[in-house]
Amino acid sequence: MDNQPLDGIAACVFDAYGTLFDFNSAARTASDELGDDWQRLSELWRQKQLQYTWLRGLAGRHADFWQVTGDALDFALATLKLDRPGLRTRLMDLYLHLQTYPEVPKTLRQLRSSGLKTAILSNGTPAMLAAVVRSSGLDGAFDAILSVEEVGVFKPHPSVYRLASDRLGIAPAALCFLSSNAWDAFSAKASGLRVVWCNRFAQAPERIPAMPDGEISDLSALPALLLAAPSR
Residues with catalytic roles: 15
Instruction: Residue 222: name the closest of 128, 137, 136, 118 by CA.
Output: 118
CB 135 within 8 A of CB 97: yes
Cα–Cα nearest to 184, from 148, 157, 213, 153? 157
DSSP state of 64: -
**Strand-pair category, 21-22 with 99-100:** antiparallel
CB of 9 closer than 8 Å to CB of 176 = yes
Distances in Å between the Cα of 45 and the Cα atoms of 17, 38, 95, 155 are 13, 10, 11, 18
Query: Would you call 6 helix, strand, or coil by DSSP?
Result: coil
Give the residues across from 121 on adjacent strands.
Answer: 146
